[in-house]
Structure 1
Amino acid sequence: MVVGANFKEIRTKKTLIGLGLGQLLSLLSTSNGFTSSELARKGINVPTSQTFLNYVLLAIIYGGIMLYRRPEIKVKWYYYFLLAIVDVEANFLVVKAYQYTSLTSVMLLDCWAIPCVLVLTWVFLKTKYRLMKISGVVICIVGVVMVVFSDVHAGDRAGGRNPIKGDFLVIAGATLYAVSNASEEFVVKKNGGDTIELMTFLGFFGAIISAIQISIFERSELTAIHWSTGAVFPFLRFSLTAFLFYSLVPVLLKTNGSTMFNLSLLTADMWSVLIRIFAYHEKVDWLYFLAFATTAIGLIIYSIKDKDLEEHKSGEAVDEEAERKKLIDEDGDPGS
């Protein structure tokens, strides 16, 4: 049927766009991870200041668009305020973790957000996860576990000056990220998919909360930093990359959901490996490539829509019924 074919084509395009957008976000996350690690190696320890400019950019750019459009605000302001608190503190904890543990540890432990998102979306958004989607999640996590083994096998995992503290910070930050992502998915779907309002208020309240936190906790550290180009450029790079990351996240949340978003970020560790190979000409263990392939397969399995499978089966049943009736019409009534 033409209608069924067109529908399947649309769903396939949506799935491919979701996979591609997820990997772009994963690359942006990898870039921010390298930048945070670079700043940590230089002794720059101002995690809230590092994310402040991103919130300012979101407030100015999306706020300008919102003022021009003058739409009716669809979600109560205090929801955005609470969301901004969670998001700011999640960024603070994860960026802070780079001071104590390795880049690989941060990226691996970030996967803790996935089971948190699954529970949150199941409880609050009533999202149903069937066996195929759960299988995709499990396969993705298996890919990450393979990265852990490849790190141990290759012996290239830097421990950091206090790995246990850093790991706890990442786990706490990942939990808050899960709350933030599930909340953003709820807000995007509640206001009809309009991301302008979400980005405006997240940037506005995020900038205010960050400014207060900076003035209390990081003012002395900021004044002690020698602001050469080696310090300024990483800050600007992080802010611009984070702005692009935040701008694209609601699009993926709207089309594919927060679980797909967090699963896509699992490949960030693999992208970091490719950067190390081609940019720094480092040798990596062969298990990395197998882990990347495993995670990719898990993402594809998770992306397959259950509705597509049901409609495919129902379509086959309809075709079989039509063929049976055709044979009866041609051969005559079996009972005559």
Structure 2
Amino acid sequence: MKHFVLFLTVVFLGLFLAVLNRTDTAAPNSSLPTVRVFGYASFTGRWGPGPALKDLFEKSCKCKVEFIEGSDSGILLQRLKIEGESLGADVVVGLDQFDLSKAVSEQSWRKLSLGQLDVYDAVKPALANSFFVPYDWGALTFVARKNELMRMPASLDDLLAPELAKKIALQDPRTSSPGMQFLYWVIRSKGEDEGFRYLQKLMSQVHSFSPTWSTSYGLFTNKQTKLVYSYVTSPLYHEVEEKKKDYVALPFNEDLPVQFEFVGIPEFCRHCDLAEQFVNLMLSNEGQKIIMEKNYMFPVMKGVMENTSFAPLMNVKTMQQVEILSSTEVDRLLRRWTEIRRGDLN
């Protein structure tokens, strides 16, 4: 019996020392600060720029990066409002120019001290806000498959052609950033009242208004629609990633809208200095190259895009003005759109 008790004592002592050793070994890693980055799904996901930026940052920051995901910028902003502080959001990635006023009205943000940024001329108007800085941008239009339509649309009015009935994939502007971009494009191209009358006619042409860009684009790639509202760089994605050259971004008579994607640091950040370092990484040449090649968007910093397949795609006719609409104005436009969607507008 004594031998048995001695045996158990040795066993338990060995287990205790093993656990103690494991705890000591793990302690340095567990004590590392965790920088939490709120971002939309295509940024934080496996194929987006998020994982590559995380790996690059963790090599030098003596920290860990954790992503908290929202499916699109509109949903991301809602999640930030509800649980951002409790989850410890340090960086918010993916708000566009239509989200900024609402973001400022709902949260407090740290001013960014990034110095003089050598950006493209098209990006300079987007630098006016001291709380947010753009990290990429892109022009939006409709994407089609080559040789699938007898006549490719060349204007907004062409989208009303009978052969396109229920063949157009759009995004819901209440939840999707590209969806709001399309609403803005129509209103600025046609004027508000005429634009909403046009949208009323367009309702019967739309296959569906998806809550996110990725859902609508999935309908298009699965050949459930003939057109999808997307980015001029979308065909390049298919060419590079899938070796397919049968997609085309359509040039329109109307100047194309431009979307800027911004990054900001909430005032309630827990690791604010690390958050600013992460923002600086996103704006570095290496970070910008990752974002360009993974997000398939134009970089904001000069010297990154030159002599790449992205450069020729900038030669599209775009709106010159970068307008930051107030949250009240955005809500008003969305209410009018909702009335049309419900069929309440006469």
Normalising by structure 2, we get a TM-score of: 0.23
Q: Which has the higher helix share?
A: 1
Q: Which has the higher strand share?
A: 2
Normalising by structure 1, we get a TM-score of: 0.24
User: Relative contact order, CA 8 A, sep 6+: which one is greater?
Assistant: 1
